Structure 1
Amino acid sequence: MSSTHWYKSIILTLAATAAAFIPTAAQQQSPLNNTADGPSYSWGLVRLSVASMRAQPSHSSEQVSQALMGTPVKITRQDGGWSHVTTPDGYSGHIIDHSLQFLSDSAMARWCESPRVAVTATHEFMATDSAGHPVTDLVNGCILQILPDGTLLTPDRRRITPREKAYTMLGQWSSAPFRPQDLPRFAERFTGVVYLWGGMSGKGMDCSGLVRMAYAAQGRILPRDAWQQATQGTEITSTDSLRAGDLIFFGNPQTKRITHVAIYDRDGEYIHASQMVRRNSLRKDSPLYLPLHIITMRRTEGKSFPVGRIL
């Protein structure tokens, strides 16, 4: 399912629903009951800072992606304590049930209507309650509700005392002007962070995960995988025309299959996640040169779906 189709489905189903500020205790659902006569919920919110999405309902299965706290997911089926979900960008995988807060349609409507903030601090930090006790770690891109007194709520209603300059109101985050030159600046802040297959957070990321994080930091959303990202924007035909923030896609010169993506910075250099987040160069005379084959180069100008339309 495409992100646009899912977005329209959410709006048509939920936008007209008027509800209280926070779901009641009865509406804050417990983990899914998979018995034939048990409750069934259509929606979930990620309740951990980072939840693993796996190809199959097993801890030993490949991690295909991740979803961050506050991400709404559509529950498509359940299997032995795991939920098969679809994220707002149309990506599917299995998340273990205890990583999710399950919601009815009405409770999801309340979440969509409630004031929320996005974590915009670059690096992971520990959030605390009013007494200074640890509550949860948070990473860039997590979504939390905000109460009238400024207290923050996780999807499972744990209370957090705000940390100065760590959060931005969701509407402000998703409507800010797009600045492509800031994409490499954001990415380089993670220099040295380990490469993690399927990773999409500051704890570890793969190449397309790093690109997606950089866009999300500006309230924009790109498709998850590199080959999908290569369908966005307009093509650049010469490396001489590259500008900061353009995307470079590498791959197999025979099959033209895209296997890697990087964010261009300046002077022939780009930032990418390969072994770790690092800087390399397109120039053969540079000590940072890597012999990678370019398949295509793209410039999006931020014409991807604004995060605020989906979350």
Structure 2
Amino acid sequence: MQYGICNLSIIPVRIEPNDTTEMVSQILFGEHFKVLELRKNWSKIRVAFDNYEGWIDNKQYEQISEETFRTLESSDLTLAAELIDFATDKNNQFSTVCMGSNLPFYNTKNLILNTTKFQYDGTILNSKIPKNSIIDIAYKYLNTPYLWGGKTHFGIDCSGFTQMVYKLCGYKLLRDASQQATQGEVLSFIEESEPGDLAFFDNSEGIITHVGIIMKDNYIIHAHGKVRIDMIDHSGIFNLDLQKHTHKLRVIKKII
């Protein structure tokens, strides 16, 4: 088994080993993973954080030792909390760091990514945030454009949004909406929900395809065209701009 770590700001995870195929997710700076299959130009990987699998370009990551991987696995996460910032190495070359990126082996503004030492002066998060602060973190993504497979302020999808908000708050969600729907405790009614709970929505075939974060007073924040705020009722999401329902409610889950 081989192991790797992302040494760039954002790298695409694709459904097949080809630049022209669908991007299903992204890996951010400092995230580590197992290499399941190594080809000439591509690697099939499994992300350590959520066990998500896909293909990445061999030119876009660095290999790490099994010992380093195991140490990272047993260490608490330290995350970049700035919308965008930089990590600088000893040669004053910088790497762009997006919100929610991992800062491996962080200690007093210093971090180590594989064999390279960086300085990061930005704000960090490294502990669980109370549930009543989840919406505050979610607001930071407001108006971020929708991007299938995206996980950053440059573009994000519905489950990438919920996963990153929860990650910044110190909790693990799986990657896709259908996977996230397997987590947590089912709530019977919207009235039982609290801000920070997740609402899931299905399509005409009964497949869960959308997720958002419930707010107070029957509002929901979710990624649909952009990260936006709409109303939610027992039928689903009522789009305030279109003045119609756009998503059919399937289930509400309390994760924490």
> Which TM-score applies when normalising by structure 2?
0.87
- Aligned partner of 1:67 in structure 2 is 27
Q: Which residue of 1 aligns with 2:185?
A: 234
**Contact preservation (8 Å) 1:144, 1:152:** yes
Q: Does 1:278 align with 2:228?
A: yes
Contact 2:78 2:106 in 1 (8 A): no
Find the residue that maps to 1:185 and give its secondary structure.
Answer: helix
1:191 aligns with 2:142: yes
Match of 2:5 in 1: 45
Contact 2:84 2:99 in 1 (8 A): yes
2:64 counterpart of 1:103: yes
Q: Deviations over 1:70-121 (max 9, x none)?
A: 2221111112311000112121000111221112323434555789742122
| Matches of 1:199 and 1:108, distance apart in 2 | 25
Within a 5 Å distance, the mapping from 1:1-311 to structure 2 comes to 42-88=2-48, 89-109=50-70, 111=72, 117-121=78-82, 123-129=83-89, 133-146=92-105, 150-155=109-114, 157=116, 159-164=117-122, 166-168=123-125, 173-174=126-127, 176=128, 178-252=129-203, 254-282=204-232, 287=240, 290-291=244-245, 292-301=247-256
CA distance in 2, matches of 1:155, 1:110: 12
What is the identity, as a one-letter code, of the residue corresponding to 1:103? I
* C-alpha contact 1:281 1:290 (8 A) present in aligned 2: no
Q: Distance in 1 between matches of 2:121 and 2:156?
A: 25
SS at match of 1:295: strand
Deviation of the 1:68 alpha carbon? 1.6
Structure 2's unaligned 5+ residue stretches are: none
The one-letter code sitting in structure 1 at the alignment partner of 2:220 is: Y
Distance across 1 between alignment mates of 2:214 and 2:155: 20
Alpha-carbon contact 2:11-2:56 (below 8 Å) kept: yes
Cα distance change of structure 1 residues 68 and 264 upon mapping to structure 2, 3 Å threshold: same
Preserved CA contact (<8 Å) 1:115 1:145: no
Q: CA deviation at 1:152?
A: 2.7
Specify every segment of 5 or more residues in structure 1 that has no aligned partner in the other structure, as ranges: 1-40, 302-311
**Matched-pair contact (CA < 8 Å) for 2:100–2:168:** yes
Partners of 1:114 and 1:247 in 2: how far apart? 27
TM-score, normalised relative to structure 1? 0.72
Q: CA RMSD in A?
A: 2.6
- Tell me how far apart the structure 1 counterparts of residues 13 and 238 of structure 2 sit (CA, whole Å): 41
Highest Rg: 1 or 2? 1
- Distance in 1, Cα, partners of 2:163 & 2:238: 30
* Deviation at residue 134 of structure 1 after TM alignment: 4.9
Is residue 238–residue 244 contact of structure 2 (8 Å, CA) maintained in 1?
no
SS at match of 1:293: strand
Secondary structure at 2:206 match in 1: coil
What SS does structure 1 have at the residue aligned with 2:69? helix
CA displacement at 1:147 relative to structure 2: 7.0
